[in-house]
Amino acid sequence: MERIDGYAPIEDYALIGDGRTCALVARDGAIDWLPAPRLDSDTVFARLLDAERGGAFELAPEIDFRVEREYVENSNVLRTTFVTARGTVRVTDAITLDHGGILPWFELVRLVEGVAGSVPMRWRITPRLGVGEEPAEMSIERLDGAVRATSRGLSLVLYPFDTGEPQHTESEVTGSFETEKGSSGSLVLRATHDEPIPFARRDWVEARLADTVDDWKRWLADAGVEGEWNEATRRSALALRLLTYVPTGAIVAAPTTSLPERIGGDRNYDYRYAWVRDTAFTLDALINLDLLVQVHASFAWLLRAVENTEPDLHVFYDLDGETVSGQEELELDGYRGARPVRRGNGAAGQLQLGCYGDLLETAELYVRDGNALDDVTAGRLAEILDHLTTIWTKQDSGIWELPDKEHYTISKLGVWTAFDRALRLVERGQLPRDRAARWRECAKDVREFIEGECWSDTRGCYVMFPDSDKLDASVLRSSRMGFLDVQGEEFSSLLDAVRDELDAGEGLLYRYSGQQQVEGAFVACSFWLVEALARAGRVDEARETMRQVLARRNDVGLFSEEIDPGTGAFLGNFPQGLSHLALINAAGAIRAAEAPQ
């Protein structure tokens, strides 16, 4: 692996986490991203966004090496094997769990094992607590058998076990040691905030590392999509679990901020929030995998969050289900110079009508899976739907959160889906029947608008918005809405038009017309194409496209938000929940299409 100006390629990262926070580990053994104590906290390490000032936890051989990586069995525990001319060493990284739950403190364990020969190792920790945020002093001091860095109430304590005597300055802690065949050592990093510091016992810590593998295996159990795509869907499920903030059930869009959609560009956004859209899509994927405990926890969180703003739906909420406003720029250089680096997201104040359809579709899928709505939830959804009857005619910012408000076709399709799913829930006795007439009337009006204003006979497709000639890959999601006959000529024409217009090669698609020179291909759109092809009965095409896109995964099975079609380089925040949930749903659509009728 070669860094460019100190930055690792985005595709060279793997993700570890515990359901409270996440860390990104590069192929060269460096942890370049870690917020603590939770996903949206200030960072401890942020070299991902500033190679000079961001801070990192480096661990690697002192001599040339090549790398092999994998997750340990079906877990979120990472194993990196460094092969050198003098020998081989294995590093196992995890943010540990406590019998499947989260520990009272943060604990990162790096187990170093000598496999063959003798390998000189070195490690270096440059904590930069809250770098880029408000300036704060940091102090580093020795404790009995450990080294502690403190700032703003956060204590970061390193325990080195048989990994060399630590040396420290005002800004870093370093050490070196040599492995032998059969040797073992650990670097244990703990963090607390305004709390006492628990002493790390090596035997307990290393036992907990082994137990963490088993905890993940139990959580995943038999989840997956049978057949060719099973391994990919299981890895995606594990990735989505790391994007879930366990204490509340909130699901962030991605664990990072400001990774650019084009190198050197300024489309850099903070995705450490829970979008209504992405949460709803994720729950759909988890239902596909029968991970029903997680479905209930996150659906309940979504409903609690919505309660704070009903009958309005906000675009996203924070991990506690609270509304978010404002956006600030941090004093960081940005990934490979791509500025600005942002905290907060400017989409917070937007109207996105598609969110209403996403919420109701999720509610209907939840009920269809055998569950039931309580009276409070039913009343809340009814109020939201009544509100939608008064606002659906407005222009909005659409699924892509654009600054120009229009009557985006995908938004109106979302509105129609909201009313359609509401009527299904009425028939199941889950929503009040006395409001159904108004919802049915609105569904009819929305359909007439979409058919009359959004379809282009010239393009043979729904355009992005009325009187536009642009096409939008998101309309492929209509394959699951029931708005069109997916086996009919109109949908087939739509599918082909979108693919021809937005093709980026080898199964990849751009989001909408005109983006070829602005950003990379959007991974989720490719999986929406797969799902649409499968639902349209074009299963051979779906399979081939699926294989092409899956070939773009990184070495540990993860996807970012976008991919550069020419180089294969990952772009945008990583790993992207939308990419992985779309993968699961695409695999499910192929499986359903192949099933005997």
Compute the mean pLDDT over every residue in the chain, rounded to the nearest whole number: 95
DSSP, residue by residue, 139-194 = EEEEETTEEEEEETTEEEEEEEESS---EE-SS-EEEEEEEETT-EEEEEEEEEES
* Segment 438-458, tens digit of pLDDT: 999 999 999 999 999 999 999
The CA-CA-CA angle for residues 119, 29, 110, to 5°, reads 80
Q: What does the pLDDT look like over 207-233, one tens digit per residue?
A: 999 999 999 999 999 998 889 999 999
pLDDT at residue 325, rounded to an integer: 86
Supply the pLDDT for residue 60.
98
pLDDT of residue 134: 81
Provide CATH 2.70.98 ranges for the chain.
10-220
pLDDT single digits (tens) 109-118: 999 999 999 9
Is-contact 526 508, C-beta < 8 A?
yes
Enclosing H/E stretch for 412 = helix 409-427
Structure tokens at 446: 């929305």
Residue 252 pLDDT class (50, 70, 90 cuts): very high
Report cis status (omega within 30 of 0) of the bond before 575: yes
Q: How high is the pLDDT of residue 597?
A: 65
pLDDT given for residue 596 in this prediction:
72
At residue 468, the pLDDT reads 96
Q: Which CATH architecture has domain 10-220?
A: Distorted Sandwich (2.70)
**pLDDT for 326 beyond 90:** no
Residue with tokens 């269809």: 368
Work out whether the CA dihedral 18, 24, 28, 32 comes out positive or negative.
negative
The secondary structure of 315-330, three-state, reads CEECCCCCCCCCEEEE
The rounded distance, in Å, linking the Cα atoms of 340 and 288 is 38
Give residue-wise pLDDT tens across range 65-88: 999 999 999 999 999 999 999 999
Helix axes 523-535, 489-502, angle to 10 degrees: 160
Segments of 207-346 assigned E as strands: 244-245, 250-251, 274-275, 316-317, 327-330, 341-344
Please state, in angstroms and rounded to a whole number, the distance separating the CA atoms of residues 400 and 473.
11
DSSP E strand boundaries for 36-145: 43-45, 57-61, 66-71, 78-83, 87-95, 97-98, 101-102, 106-125, 139-143
- pLDDT tens-digit series, residues 118-132: 999 999 999 999 898
* CA atoms of 178 and 235, how far apart (whole Å): 34
Q: What is the mean pLDDT of residues 528-534?
A: 98
SS3 122: strand
Q: Positive or negative CA dihedral for 76, 33, 188, 179? A: positive
Instruction: Report the distance separating Cα 76 and Cα 347, nearest Å.
Output: 31
Cα–Cα distance between 254 and 239 in angstroms, integer? 10
